Amino acid sequence: MLFAPPNLETKELFWIIYILILIPKVFAKVMSVRELFPFFKWGFNIRRSNFLVPILSNNVIVTGEEAVQYEKPLPYIPQHNQQQQKQQPSQEYIQQNSSENNNINENNNINNGKEQEQPQSPDVVNQPTKTNNNNKKIPIKELSNEEILIKLEKGEVLAYKLESELGDCSRAVEIRRMLLEKQLSKKIEPIPYEGYDFAKVQGQCCENVIGYVPIPVGTAGPIQLNGSLVTIPMATTEGCLVASTHRGCKAITESGGAKCTITSRGMTRAPVVRFSDIVKASEFVSWINDNDNYQALKAVFDSTSRFARLSAIKCTIAGRSVYIRFKCDTGDAMGMNMVSKGVEAVLDHLKIIFDDMTLLSISGNMCTDKKPSSINWTEGRGRSVVCEAMITGDIVQRVLKTNVQALVDLNIAKNLIGSAMAGSIGGFNAHASNIVTAIFLATGQDCAQNVESSNCITQMEACNDGQDLYITVTMPSIEVGTVGGGTSLPAQSACLDIIGVKGSSSSKPGANADQLAKTIASAVMAGELSLMAALSAGHLMKSHLQYNRAKTNN
């Protein structure tokens, strides 16, 4: 009955189909697809329609029109989990059926509930897998650089994790350079990397490190500051900057030196919170302004650090949002992480009291960090510093090559009126940011903070019957530290040591960062004095042509 002629009654045909469906269930464990095929081949010719025709395809039953399309022999797929020997197909047979059965080969890769082995590419087959005697993969740090590079290209190892995977920061840099050169198809040899302690960079200064960029470092001064001589390290690629600052230092020192003082100290962070309506927002501000409540919040804030001490909270309402500007002393650290940690603790405390309060961001841009703002200019951030000096008339003429009245007139026209006409915020100076950035680079500061740290107003007056020059610079937001971040890098730490402010002051926390801020302000004053003298005497272009346009050998 199994091989009955095709002109059968419907009932008989039904039983035949039923038996055909059962056959794979019985023989699947002991017979391959190819061995079962003769039992089903005649079924393809019963009828070319959507009639129910069972077919075993990789031990999966398909029916209907999909089944009657298989007039050719079923594709040969090795059954690795079966015990008997499989008949290998001919090359012609494989080519004949490869295009038709491509999708089946991809989707039906399960035999008896076990995954079949996927064919490996020639690269994988030919690439030896490094194992030890226990068939365990060898740790990545024991592979060669070339083998690690292959794994990076395949995505088996992530480039940014090389330091932690290898336990060797210098080797991680070397391999990452190999990868970059291969990706760019060009060498990066001019970027040095050897002889540098990248372990000090890891986790605090830079990621995906490929080397370092050398910047020339010069020194200006020494300048006499508050009775002591201070040498100023400056890292810059702008010719004439160090020479000009040095000239200003000479004029100040020969005139008796500069005096400098800190008028305010405190890093700020201003989260923004939101309430359901303006009434609750207003009630929140009133609660914060109560001294007893402020003292409770201060205790919470101060408990988060040995050095951070909350000094003020100021709230500003905008609709139902409230900007809470915290200000705190952070010792010798610049302090952004320190103040953020304390702010988070206070916010958690406030959420318990004000369940209607929603924190939108720990920074609401009223801090204000790395952006021009009037709040930093008027209320300060970091260290607020004022510096002054009296330059005698003979030194103005002999060292600065100009006269007192010319300097006073130019300062009014340029630094005061000109900046006001431009709508400047904190930019009432000639080039304070030049000196600030150069010292920031040399001493490992956060260079993006030169935006607010360069806020400065330069004032000049004639005194002693117009014979001498009185000059001051006021800088309300110098943001510096002598510990943390880039200050721990060897070269930057050495530059701090030149000034005499390396690390933290054990006897008086914050004293080293104060001295660094004073040094910056005095250097800015020296730079202002020299540049304004050059402008008033018409020497600016001449000096730049001399120092900034030197011929080089190609």
* Mean pLDDT along residues 276-285: 97
d(CA 524, CA 429): 10
For residue 474, what are the CA distances in angstroms to 265, 295, 432, 497, 518? Answer: 14, 32, 11, 25, 11
pLDDT for 135 equals 62
* Mean pLDDT along residues 247-261: 98
d(CA 527, CA 523): 6
Residue 342: pLDDT over 70: yes
Number of Cβ within a 10 Å radius of residue 249: 30
Which residues, other chains included, contact 340 with Cβ-Cβ below 8 Å and sequence gap of 6+?
Answer: 269, 362
pTM: 0.74
pLDDT in tens, 2-53: 444 445 555 566 666 766 666 655 555 445 444 444 444 444 444 444 444 4
Instruction: Identify the CA nearest to 334 among candidates 484, 146, 207.
Output: 484
pLDDT for 553 equals 54
Residue 226 zone, left/alpha/beta (φ > 0; ψ -120 to 50; rest)? left
Which residues, other chains included, contact 495 with Cβ-Cβ below 8 Å and sequence gap of 6+?
Answer: 217, 233, 235, 442, 443, 444
d(CA 269, CA 364): 8
* DSSP run (H or E) holding 114: strand 114-115
Residue recorded with tokens 């200064």? 205
pLDDT for 139 equals 87
Which residues, other chains included, contact 331 with Cβ-Cβ below 8 Å and sequence gap of 6+?
Answer: 307, 308, 504, 509, 510, 513
pLDDT for 21 equals 67
Which residues, other chains included, contact 547 with Cβ-Cβ below 8 Å and sequence gap of 6+?
Answer: 239, 240, 243
| Average pLDDT of the chain, as a whole number | 83
- Annotated catalytic residues are 238, 370, 446, 544
pLDDT for 203 equals 87
β-strand pairing of 309-318 with 321-329 = antiparallel
pLDDT for 73 equals 46
d(CA 256, CA 374): 34
Give the rounded distance of the alpha carbon of 313 from its chain centre: 30
Residue recorded with tokens 């009014």? 412
137 confidence band (pLDDT: 50, 70, 90): confident
Q: Which of 115-124, 242-251, 316-325 has the lowest mean pLDDT?
A: 115-124
